[in-house]
Homo-oligomer: A and B are copies of this chain.
Amino acid sequence: MANNNELEQYLKLIKELDSDNNCPVRSALEMIGGKWKLRILAQLLRKEVVRFNELKRDLSGITNTMLSNSLRELENDCLITRKQYNEMPVRVEYNITDRGKNLLPTIYELNIWWDDFITSS
């Protein structure tokens, strides 16, 4: 991993992080935590626009309650947007925001790390 310059930069960051409250890393993790949020975000990254029941079908096993709650929280955190069309029956579309898309490098790094982890064990 990384060269020495990067390593030093990383360690410098770690030393500056708040070890108790207001740690940006933990805040970020909380925002995408929970059992379903990452799957929802991944699906929205794949599809750009998804409807409620479509998402429910895509995420095998999720219940109405959890999908509804997760979507609302993700919307409150500005990671996704919700558009409601008052047709009959109602149509609602969810899509990911730029902030949501900005998670891609992090997801990428997590994937790299896990791959290294597996291949070296």
State the A residues within 8 Å of B (CB).
1-2, 6-7, 9-11, 13-15, 17, 19-20, 23-29, 33, 38-39, 42-43, 45-46, 58-61, 78, 99, 101-118, 120-121
Contacts and interface: CB of A to CB of B under 8 A. Distances in A.
Given A14-B45, A15-B46, A104 B39 contact: no
Contacts of A27: 114
| Oligomer: number of copies | 2
A39 B10 contact: no
Given A10-B107, A11-B104, A102-B113, A42 B17 contact: yes
Contacts of A33: 29, 33
| Of listed A6, A103, A107, residue having the most chain B CB within 10 A | A107
Nearest to A6: B105
Given A11-B104, A26-B38, A109-B109, 4 more contacts: A1-B102, A2-B104, A20-B61, A25-B111
